Structure 1
Amino acid sequence: MAHDGEDQREFPRTTQPRFADIDVSTPTTARIYDWMLHGKDNFEADRQAGRAFLEVAPQLRPIAHDNRAWLARVVTCMSTEMGIDQFLDIGSGLPTAENTHQIAQRANPDARVVYVDNDPVVLAHGRAILADNANTTVTTADILDPKAVTDSPDTRRLIDFSRPVGVLLIALTHCLKDEPDPGGLIGQVVDALPSGSYVAYSHIVSTDAEAAEQLTGTVLQATHGRWGRVRRPEEAVAYIERHGLEPVSPGFVDIRTWRTDDPDVPEEPIWEIGGLARKP
């Protein structure tokens, strides 16, 4: 939680929600995800929702851990192979082990990272964790307003949009409803990026219509309608591919197989696809 003596230049309080404003009775995807990862920054409502999700789709907990491992690989790839040294992590969720800034700054200590999430708990805990890291900050904004994300004072303070940026849209788009168009929102973010930028993207998917409908209904009920839906793989990929981005090998695939040293292809159905693409 924030303290009165924190650096006002790092986290201007006048534009951010207060911890007292947090609704602990309504689950949020950020806090449910934290619970899936065995984190501690969640409330009973989030834990109840998480348990309900696992009753419908017990594979969601392994998927959460697979997603975190993929985050580490894709940030390392952008840092070491593409030379990206500034990152905008949209829908970042709560801080946990192996955060984006830790991975990026391991490759380049001067790397800059801005975390963006619409959950005020993320802001509160991010303030405390990142208070001593001048190259990393957290801001509260929503992908539903892409301009607020890219034009946030905290974003502009650390991200130089005249140079390539690494944008993370990881496990975010399935949280969005069909209207407004998730692909259009992504496009507005892409439009703000200079040539040579990269976008890392993943989405929960299913080729089983019944399973997708069941999981979608469970999450919508638990979050009081604050979610999107599980989509077909081709739907999810279309949201990112339509913007003229150049996919990086191996393209948009099962996140468990993306640039991994593990030669064994999982036998279980694909539940999350992801990949990396470059803006030409």
Structure 2
Amino acid sequence: MNTPNAARMYDWLLGGSENFQPDRDACVKLLGIAPTIQQLVRTSRAFLRRVVRILVDEFEVIQFLEHGSGLPTRDNVHEVAQRANPNAKVAYIDSDPMVLAHARTTLHENSNVLVVDQDVRDTAKILEATAGFFDWTQPIAALFVSVLHCLRDTDDERDPAALVKRVAGSLPAGSYMVVCQLVSDDPVVREKVTALMAEVTNNNWGRVRQSHEVRRYFTGMAIEPPGLVDVVDWRPDTPPPPLNLRPKDCVEWGGVARV
């Protein structure tokens, strides 16, 4: 536990207690570079809740495949989905031992929840693990919320863009892809945040990207209104803050598309 971990850092930024001093120290360093990161973490979490609720209520999707579930917190995907429809099913994918231990302890009595110990990039193994859990004749929503910035670019199938394309191609007709990740127009911010996270996690991180790179993830998909946006603007429950009060260093940017 001496090396900071992105899931535990995320937990601390959300106000959770499942983290250690190295995680907290790394978060303090991160906030020194990008002071609005904590706000963005909470923004992305709120986006996830809205997306899940709307997919159930309006699009009648009741199956969710969450890549990189992270540590359990309030209003997890299965809680939001099952409030809207008790028959909703959620598969959580993660490979972090602490995440898996907590998930299995808290979710073992819920037969409509599956916890899969797998790297989010190993699509074939994930599909094998969920083959008997989901109804593959019905739509599934694949969730990549605040996950892809944790993955490095590669020249093979483990590249984030290749991963999204592969998962989209594996889903039943009428399914949905949900993606958001950290982006910045400032090259200095991109470089500094990426360098710090790579340093503190022993290079177990990806990078802050630009919005056009995230748009590439959705190639060939039908993007749902309001399009790819700062996620605070994605069908907000309350009026979003004015532009002059929003983070300027980074934003969580993405949206929802029908595959």
Question: Which TM-score applies when normalising by structure 1?
Answer: 0.87
Show structure 1 runs of 4+ deviating over 4 A. Answer: none
Q: CA deviation at 1:147?
A: 1.2
CA distance in 2, matches of 1:72, 1:146: 24
Matching residue of 1:237: 215
Query: Which secondary structure does the structure 2 equivalent of 1:129 belong to?
Result: helix
Q: CA deviation at 1:162?
A: 2.0
Q: Which moved more, 1:28-37 or 1:269-278?
A: 269-278
CA distance in 2, matches of 1:98, 1:217: 31
Q: Which residue, 223, 232, 253 being the options, matches 1:273?
A: 253
Query: Which secondary structure does the structure 1 equivalent of 2:256 belong to?
Result: strand
Q: Which residue, 40, 43, 51 being the options, matches 1:66?
A: 43
Matching residue of 1:255: 231
Kindly indicate whether the alpha-carbon contact (under 8 Å) linking 1:257 and 1:265 is maintained by their aligned counterparts in 2: no
Q: Establish whether residue 198 from structure 1 lines up as the match of residue 158 from structure 2.
A: no
Give 1:1-280 correspondences, 5 Å limit: 24-152=1-129, 155-179=130-154, 180-238=158-216, 240-242=217-219, 244-260=220-236, 261-262=238-239, 264-267=241-244, 268=246, 269=248, 271-279=251-259
Query: Which secondary structure does the structure 2 equivalent of 1:256 belong to?
Result: helix
Query: Which secondary structure does the structure 1 equivalent of 2:136 belong to?
Result: coil
Considering only aligned residues, what root-mean-square deviation do their CA atoms show, in Å? 1.2
CA distance in 1, matches of 2:114, 2:200: 30
Q: CA deviation at 1:264?
A: 4.0
Question: Cα deviations across residues 171-197 of structure 1 (Å, max 9, x unaligned)?
Answer: 111111111421111111111101100
| Amino-acid identity (%) | 40
Unaligned runs of 5+ in 2: none
Unaligned runs of 5+ in 1: 1-23
- Count of equivalent residues: 252
CA distance in 2, matches of 1:188, 1:166: 14
Q: CA deviation at 1:198?
A: 0.6
Question: Cα deviations across residues 252-277 of structure 1 (Å, max 9, x unaligned)?
Answer: 10011110131543323251102100
Question: Which TM-score applies when normalising by structure 2?
Answer: 0.94
Kindly indicate whether the alpha-carbon contact (under 8 Å) linking 1:126 and 1:137 is maintained by their aligned counterparts in 2: no
Kindly indicate whether the alpha-carbon contact (under 8 Å) linking 2:232 and 2:240 is maintained by their aligned counterparts in 1: no
Kindly indicate whether the alpha-carbon contact (under 8 Å) linking 1:28 and 1:119 is maintained by their aligned counterparts in 2: no
Kindly indicate whether the alpha-carbon contact (under 8 Å) linking 2:215 and 2:228 is maintained by their aligned counterparts in 1: yes
